[in-house]
A and B are shown apart, each in its own frame.
Chain A
Amino acid sequence: MTTDEALMLQVRGGSRDAFESLFERYRGPVWRFFRRRTAEAARAEELAQDTFVAVLQGSARYEPRASFRSYLFGVAYNILQADRRKTRSVEPLDAEPQAPATPDPDEAMWVRQALAQIDAGDREILMLREYEQLSYQEIADLRRLPLNTVRSRLFRARMALKSMLMPDAGESAKVGHDGR
Chain B
Amino acid sequence: MTVAEHAVNPEEVMAYLDGELPAERAVVVHAHMTSCDACQRLARELRGVSREVTRWSVEDAPAAFTAPLRPPSDVRSMRWFRFAWRPAVLAPAAAVAGVLLVAVFGPFRAARSVEIPVGPDSMVQRLEESRSRAPAREREGQMGAVMGRPDGNAGSVGALAAEPSKGPMVTRTVTLRIVAKDFDSARPAVDRILRDVSGFVGQISASAARGSARSLTATLRVPADRLDAALAALKGLGQVVEESQGGDDVTEQAVDLDARLTNARNTEKRLTDVLQHRTGKVGDVLEVEREIARVRGEIERMDAERKNLARRVAYATVTLEILEERRADLDLGPLPVSRQFRNAIVDGFRGAFESALGLALFGARVGPALLLWGLVLAWPVWLVRRRYRGSLRG
Contacts and interface: CB of A to CB of B under 8 A. Distances in A.
Contacts of A180: 3, 6, 9-10
Interface stretch (A70-78, A83-91, A103-111): A103-111
Contacts of A173: 10, 38, 41-42, 45
Nearest to B313: A103
B57 interface: yes
Interface of A: 19-20, 23, 27-28, 31-32, 35-36, 40-43, 45-46, 48-50, 52-53, 56-57, 97, 99-112, 115, 126, 129-131, 133, 135-136, 151-152, 154-155, 158, 161-162, 165-169, 172-173, 175-178, 180
B178 interface: no
Between B6, B46, B56, B88, the greatest number of chain A beta carbons within 10 A of the residue's beta carbon is seen for B56
Interface string B134-160: 011101000100110000000000000
Sorted nearest first, the 9 A-B pairs with minimum C-beta distance are A176-B38, A168-B135, A31-B61, A111-B56, A23-B67, A107-B55, A35-B58, A57-B72, A165-B52
Interface of B is mostly: helix
B194 interface: no
A107 B315 CA distance: 15
A176 B87 contact: no
Nearest to A105: B202
Contacts of A167: 135-136
A165 B136 contact: yes
A176 B46 CA distance: 14
A166 B44 CA distance: 11
Contact of B39 (A52, A135, A136, A176): A176
Interface of B: 1-3, 6, 9-11, 14-15, 18, 20, 36-39, 41-42, 45-46, 48-50, 52-62, 64-65, 67-68, 72, 75, 78-79, 82-83, 86-88, 123-124, 127, 131, 135-137, 139, 143, 146-147, 202-203, 219, 221, 297, 307-309, 311-312, 317
Contacts of B72: 53, 56-57
Contacts of B3: 177-178, 180
A28 B38 contact: no
Contacts of B75: 53, 57
Given A103-B308, A106-B147, A52 B64 contact: no
28 contacts: A31-B60, A35-B58, A36-B58, A40-B88, A42-B86, A42-B88, A45-B61, A45-B65, A46-B83, A49-B82, A52-B67, A53-B68, A100-B219, A101-B203, A103-B57, A103-B59, A109-B124, A111-B52, A130-B53, A131-B53, A136-B20, A151-B15, A172-B45, A173-B41, A173-B45, A176-B37, A177-B38, A180-B9
Contacts of A19: 67
A131 B52 CA distance: 12
B68 A49 contact: yes
A97 B181 CA distance: 33
A160 to B, nearest CB: 9
Contacts of A56: 68, 72
A178 B143 contact: no
B175 to A, nearest CB: 12
A4 to B, nearest CB: 15
Contacts of B57: 102-104, 108
Contacts of A169: 45, 48, 136
A56 B70 CA distance: 10
A110 B62 contact: no
Given A151-B20, A161-B53, 11 more contacts: A35-B59, A41-B62, A42-B88, A111-B55, A130-B50, A152-B11, A165-B52, A172-B38, A173-B10, A175-B38, A177-B1
Contact of B55 (A100, A104, A135, A158): A104
Contacts of B146: 106
Contacts of A42: 86-88
A58 to B, nearest CB: 9
B42 A172 contact: yes
Nearest to A137: B20
A51 to B, nearest CB: 10
Contact of B58 (A102, A130, A161, A165): A102
Contacts of A97: 58
A155 B11 contact: yes
Contacts of A28: 60-61
Contacts of A108: 55-58
Given A110-B127, A129-B18, A166-B48, A100 B59 contact: yes
A151 B13 CA distance: 11
